[in-house]
Amino acid sequence: MKIVVTGGLGHIGSRLVRELPRLIEAAEILIVDNLSTQRYGSLFDLPGVGGYRFIEGDVTNMDLRESFTGADAVVHLAALTDAVASFEHPEAMERVNFAATKHVAEMCVQIGVPMIHVSSTSVYGTLKTVIDENCGPEDIAPQSPYADCKRREELLVETMCRTGGLKAITLRFGTIFGTSPGMRFHTAVNRFCWQAVMGKPLTVWKTAYDQRRPYLELGDAVRAVAFAVQGKLFDGNIYNAVTVNATVREVTDAIRLHLPDLTIDFVDSRIMNTLSYEVLNKRLSASGFEMHGSMRGGIADTVKLLKNANSRGA
């Protein structure tokens, strides 16, 4: 089985490409990445199982025909992912993220290969305490240019599945946490782990401390992708993928188990999203998929990798 992974050197992709050959027997992985983040190390020491090929290229405009021909699935991860930074450069979301998704989806139609489109639970902006994929349009209110772009990508994929001949699924990921060779640290859990190990105070918005938000452990993200590929779950629907709904207080309490001397600086800065809600995995669960990860496990793995970076660490 041949699987193409765009953005395959990033936080999610660098772990996905390592685990797919273990989850899908004899999987051959074609990695496409533009190396804009210079994560060369994501290609180090790839597993001996399966087979790998790397192509450096920009999926917004490169010729993807040869790469996609013969593929059993395309997992589209290539994107700018910093939601906070998207406020300063909203035009980049259109130029990079939307353009990449459109180009990849159109080539998937031409070649006849199914696509896994990765979106984000940040598209939600609900006043409800619990939400799932069957929500109404009033509950979809993206709170950043990044989230707004993801929502428009979802609608594009949905339309192309309905009228354009695309076979696809959208996996709406919670905020990722957990370790990988291409790990990033601008999202909450990983950033807090970094700050705590380095002996820095955790910067927390006062109004966000007890807000509940959806998180996805990276191992669960990988397994969800493999599940969709193996089950040929390309029905045009959106599937939430969330390991746990947690508050910032619960996250910091889990870090404190390893670093009991951590400190928290509460600030009054305006936050990106003032809402609190839980996101359910109704469709994935109905399909037979179960989450196995945990917040404590992901934090323990991250702290363990960093513990020797600072004598004050665990």
pLDDT tens-digit map of 34-43: 998 899 999 9
| Whether residue 77 is found in the same domain as residue 195 | no
| Whether residue 84 is found in the same domain as residue 200 | no
Decide if 314 is inside a domain.
no
| Whether residue 200 is found in the same domain as residue 104 | no
Which band of pLDDT confidence, cut at 50, 70 and 90, is reported for residue 314?
very low
Which band of pLDDT confidence, cut at 50, 70 and 90, is reported for residue 261?
very high
Decide if 285 is inside a domain.
no
The answer, yes or no, to whether residue 48 has pLDDT greater than 70, is yes
Residue 148's CATH number: 3.40.50.720
- How large a percentage of the chain has pLDDT more than 90? 78
Decide if 161 is inside a domain.
yes
| Whether residue 13 is found in the same domain as residue 150 | yes
Residue 305's CATH number: 3.90.25.10
Reading the block at residue 40, the tokens are: 């060369």
Contact 165, 179 (CB under 8 A): no
* pLDDT tens digits for range 6-16: 999 999 999 99
| Whether residue 233 is found in the same domain as residue 273 | no
| Whether residue 95 is found in the same domain as residue 110 | yes
Decide if 284 is inside a domain.
no
Indicate the pTM of the whole model. Answer: 0.93
| Whether residue 172 is found in the same domain as residue 268 | no
Distance, C-alpha 243 to centroid of its chain: 12
What average pLDDT does range 75-94 have in this prediction?
Answer: 72
CA distance 224 to 107: 23
The answer, yes or no, to whether residue 311 has pLDDT greater than 80, is no
Query: Which of the residue ranges 142-151, 237-246, 247-256 would you say has the lowest mean pLDDT?
Result: 142-151
Burial of 189 (0-12, 13-18, 19+ CB in 10 A): buried
Domain count, the chain: 2
| Whether residue 194 is found in the same domain as residue 82 | no
| Whether residue 273 is found in the same domain as residue 251 | yes
The answer, yes or no, to whether residue 305 has pLDDT greater than 70, is yes
Decide if 125 is inside a domain.
yes
Classify the phi-psi angles of 174: left when phi > 0, otherwise alpha if psi is within -120 to 50, otherwise beta.
Answer: beta
Query: Which of the residue ranges 120-124, 126-130, 308-312 would you say has the lowest mean pLDDT?
Result: 308-312
Give residue 83's domain range: 2-176+216-241
CA distance 250 to 156: 36
What average pLDDT does range 222-243 have in this prediction?
Answer: 97
Average pLDDT over the chain, rounded to whole? 91
| Whether residue 11 is found in the same domain as residue 56 | yes
What average pLDDT does range 122-143 have in this prediction?
Answer: 91
What average pLDDT does range 158-175 have in this prediction?
Answer: 97
